[in-house]
Amino acid sequence: MIIDAHQHFWDPARADYPWMEAPELAPIRRAFDPADLAPLLKANGIDASIVVQCRSALEETEEFLRIARATPSVIGVVGWADLTDGDLGKTLDRLRALPGGDKLVGIRHQVHDEADPDWLLREDVQRGLTAVFARDLAYDFLVRTRELPAAIATAQAFPQARFVLDHAAKPPIADGGSDEWTDRIAALAACGNVWCKISGLATEAKWDNWDAERLLPFVAHAAKCFGEDRLIFGSDWPVCLLAGSYGEIKGALEACLAELGPNVRENAFGVNARAAYRLRIAS
């Protein structure tokens, strides 16, 4: 099964997305739903996808679970829940009891938007993560280079937990990279319990001047650090449309992976996502 492990649905006419207010994001400031994604998956040979949190609202998580129940191609939901909520455990139990609740595979928060780079290390957040892992859910790190030290410490604090790093921590591709990102990614990978999504990379490059060759050094470094068993493909659709079409994004990442060996590509396009999120897929 070929899996796109990172895509989104949203409708700015029905809800607020603060991160979407920047003028340059106008091209994607419209509704995107399963009917928009379905032909793209078919055209690009993708069998299934995981829909990922876009805003800090339980209502969105509940909506995604309903979508997952009604949409066979959506095999997992990485939703949002308030990690600082003292009753988080009860909230997660309620979500899992909802129709489609069996598709909840992970939780995510937009950590890179927090003012405190050590937000993940707050006592209430760490307590919330304990509740997440007690229910056998994964946690997605949405961080940049600035927050990687806190992510490393968190992965070390929960050695039996499963973490997934979104967008390879958004490397500064447009600026040519940085030693800080390179070193911190290696340190996070050394924890052993973190998978890395090679998603959202084209939008970290210059949107009108990128190709597979520009992305390759960053994909290769992630592959070197995480190995062929912990690298995961994600399109980051529809955010990726700012830089290229679904097919262009997938094609560029496939070209990068082809340079790294056959097992890297095969595992990144499905096998590793199944392991990271413990996906239940009917045979």
Does 26 score more than 80 pLDDT? Answer: yes
* Structure-token pair, residue 147: 């927050």
What whole-number distance in Å separates Cα of residue 17 and Cα of residue 69?
Answer: 24
**Ranges of each domain in the chain:** 3-277
Mean pLDDT calculated for residue range 71-87: 97
Rounded CA-CA distance 71/74 in Å is: 6
pLDDT at residue 28 is higher than 80: yes
Contact residues for 123 (Cβ-Cβ < 8 A; gap 6+): none
The whole-number pLDDT of residue 262 equals 82
Tokens of 48: 């299934």
Reply yes or no on whether the pLDDT at 25 is more than 70: yes
pTM: 0.97
Per-residue confidence at 282, pLDDT binned at 50, 70, 90? low
Class assignment of domain 3-277? Answer: alpha beta
**Cβ-based neighbour number of residue 111 at 10 Å:** 23
pLDDT of residue 274: 97
pLDDT tens digits along 221-256? 999 999 999 999 999 999 999 999 999 999 999 999
Q: How confident is the model at residue 42 (pLDDT cuts 50, 70, 90)?
A: very high
Give the mean model confidence (pLDDT) for residues 270-283. 88
Distance from C-alpha of 278 to C-alpha of 91, rounded to nearest angstrom: 21
Q: Above 60 in pLDDT, residue 3?
A: yes
Determine the longest span between alpha carbons in the chain, in angstroms.
47
pLDDT at 144 over 70: yes
User: pLDDT tens digits, residue range 167-186?
Assistant: 999 999 999 999 999 999 99
